[in-house]
Amino acid sequence: MSFEISDWMRHELVRRKDLIRRMWTGEAVERVPLEVRVVVPSRYSMRACYFDAQKQLETALASAIATWTMAPSSDCIPAMRPDVGCSCLASGFGMDYYWGDSEEQTPGVKGSLITDLANQVEGLPDPDPYSDGWIPEGLRRIQMFADATEGFVPVSLLDAAGGLNVAADLMGLTELLTALYTCPDAVHKLLDKIQRLFLATIQAGIEMAGGQEYITSTDFPDQWFPEGWKGHVSDDISAMISPRMYQEFCAPYHAMVFQRYGGGGLHNCGPNPCAAEYVAHSLSPRAIDLADTYSHDDLPMLKAVFKRKAFVYLSWDGSEEPVQWYADIMELMAPDVIVVPIFNFKPEDDPETLCLALRSVAEEYAERMDWGWDAVHESSRQNGGLERVDEA
């Protein structure tokens, strides 16, 4: 599939990056950026794309081109996601993928590599991202995707799932949650091994992409993060643990990424019992990316705990009319917390018309915002320490 880059696209890319950068630094902007994408239905099943990198690239590139051409008023930076499954780090430790009956289902893992954590953790391997599991194929795809447009369309890195999620893949969720209480020291040793693999995989992915300027972030999101805030972590298990457990078993490992690449983002589909802990440290993520399906009921609480500390990327689930959905969120969250909406429209949805209608909401939202960030969290931008912040 050919991809022609026009002068308008080059100039527009500069404008969009500038808008996003200014919002991330807390500067008042003309509108809250609109992450409107056009998703072209794939000719292939999800499983076919996992097994054939060229089919996955064709699918991703078609949507990137459609976003540029069919939603020119969007503020999103079209990107592509090389994907080998969210259990790729577990596969590096030796876990086998499991494929379900549906061709549209992502792979999981089967069995348990760890049956006695306290006695096995010391003997676990230190995987090499260039040779173990599905990670090498993921790295190959990062390079392949980046080369396809000579870096104009940024690429995400691999879906690392998050330390506790990988640990659950390796030993089972029930066993992991029990181990948090029965052998916490062994859990920490396991999480350290997992996070060292994640950091090595990030560095390898950046090299394959050609540099940080060609990636969206250090993880799977295809939202473009500004320079100095490229760090991203995933933590879906934070939906089912206490804030105290998050503080002990999540935040220090997230900080290992944020220290090196900047406190960019954290993903949890939701719900968010640990939300206050997301931003309780001097080195905390600026953006929290959530799924509306699982996090909508948390928005009033998030407004209180994220004020002047973080903003939200919120994925529209398609169940409500998009303009009214976003207007209702603005009424709820302004002037305290920015919500950047993520819309995935089909070509037949008339995405440009929807984008223009959404723009009026985004402009009003920006006018009503109390812009700026608490100075204590400025250290999140690529350097700082994990010092807890307990201010109101």
Q: With a cut of 50, which residues of the chain have pLDDT below it?
A: 384-385, 391-392
Going from the C-alpha of 261 to that of each of 36, 97, 309, 336, the distances in angstroms are: 26, 30, 18, 27
**What are the residues facing 339 on neighbouring strands?**
312
Model pLDDT, residue 123: 95
Strands (E), the chain: 35-38, 97-98, 108-109, 232-234, 265-267, 287-291, 311-315, 339-345
Model pLDDT, residue 383: 52
The pTM (predicted TM-score) of the whole model is 0.95
**What are the residues facing 314 on neighbouring strands?**
290, 341
Model pLDDT, residue 374: 81
State the angle between helix axes of 163-171 and 184-209 in degrees (0 to 180), rounded to the nearest 10.
Answer: 120
Model pLDDT, residue 382: 65
How many angstroms separate the CA atoms of 19 and 340, rounded?
A: 12
Phi/psi of residue 191, each to 5°? -65, -35
pLDDT digits (tens, 9 = 90+) for 125-170: 999 999 999 999 999 999 999 999 999 999 999 999 999 999 999 9
Model pLDDT, residue 391: 47
How many angstroms separate the CA atoms of 62 and 195, rounded?
A: 34
Domains and CATH numbers, the chain: 19-41+216-392 (3.20.20), 80-211 (3.20.20.210)
Residue by residue, what is the 3-state secondary structure of 314-329?
A: EECCCCCCHHHHHHHH
Residue 256: closest CA among 202, 209, 205:
202
